[in-house]
Amino acid sequence: MFEGIITPIVTPFNRDEEQSVNYEAAGQLIGHLIKKGVNGIFILGSNGEFHVIDEYEKVAFAKEVIRMVDHRVPVFVGTGACSTRETIRLSQKMEAAGADALSVITPYFIKPAEEELYEHFKEVANSVKIPIVLYNIPKSTGCNIPKEAVARLAEIDNIQAIKDSSGDVDNLKGYVEAGRNKNLSVLVGSDSKISAGYRLGATGAIAGTSNVITDVLVKLNKALKTNDTETAKVLQGDIDVLRDVLKLGTVPSIIKRAVELADIAPVGPARKPVKETTPEVDEKIKEVLKHYQLI
């Protein structure tokens, strides 16, 4: 389950007053990604705007995505929240909805101590039976999970993976070492570090850019798995062409607009307060898509 390219899909919204969830677009995006060969669908992550989606919307969206995917690939669902109580409540609802695994981000805004992090993840894991993926993204949460805590958490049966979006290769290496000889897989969450992560022992990547340049990521995974280093080097570098324009807007506005402009699915804008892209930025996105022959 924890291998290959897992796409953290954007959550499609309509361009209506409520910016309501667009289920039809979600189906188009999911169908496209599975056809292209991704190994999993991950919803309600950072690119999925979990932080601006109400709980009832999350549950309804998860149920529909699970129905759409129909066991073709595993469905990972983000359930993290600032409080342990809220995380447990949502995790249990997503388990009941049929999720294959849960992704649990560290509490944010506050900065929990190591023991508090350990107890938080332990209680969440003990509240469900399905696998848990720890989610480390310190640039957004202000909190990095220490490798020592990861080693302890790996002793819990259903804590089976960690996604590291720190962008720090040494940090990722520490997680690989913490999970060695235990049932813990390491997934790369920084698209620029996929090749480096695989060399260290990571088994897959949760790659936001695979929403758009799916072929590049799927081919990169194959090249890395078959030790085709020259091809992998070219493909890894090619990701940077898209990554260079992502800084032109607030996450995930650029990636969502790229999905639309590539005519993959009408996923709409990011939810407010994030603004839509400007015509000038759209032109820059189009140039990038031309590079990948997507338009």
pLDDT tens for 230-258 read: 999 999 999 999 999 999 999 999 999 99
Residue by residue, DSSP assigns 58-77 as: HHHHHHHHHHHHTTSS-EEE
Per-residue DSSP letter, 140? H
- pTM of full prediction above 0.85: yes
28 phi/psi in degrees, rounded to 5: -65, -45
Among the options 93, 118, 135, 193, which is catalytic? 135
Run of H or E including 6: strand 4-8
* Furthest-apart CA atoms within the chain: distance in Å: 52
pLDDT tens for 116-162 read: 999 999 999 999 999 999 999 999 999 999 999 999 999 999 999 99
Mean pLDDT of 53-72: 98
pLDDT tens for 79-108 read: 999 999 999 999 999 999 999 999 999 999
Query: What average pLDDT does the chain have?
Result: 97
Is 111 an active-site residue? no
Q: How confident is the model at residue 45 (pLDDT cuts 50, 70, 90)?
A: very high
* Contacts of residue 82, Cβ cutoff 8 Å, sequence gap at least 6: 107, 108, 109, 110
Domain locations along the chain: 4-226
Is 272 an active-site residue? no
Pick the CATH number of 4-226 from 3.30.365.10, 3.80.10.10, 3.20.20.70, 3.40.640.10: 3.20.20.70
Question: For residues 228 and 117, what is the distance between their CA atoms, to the nearest angstrom?
Answer: 39
Among the options 163, 193, 219, 256, which is catalytic? 163
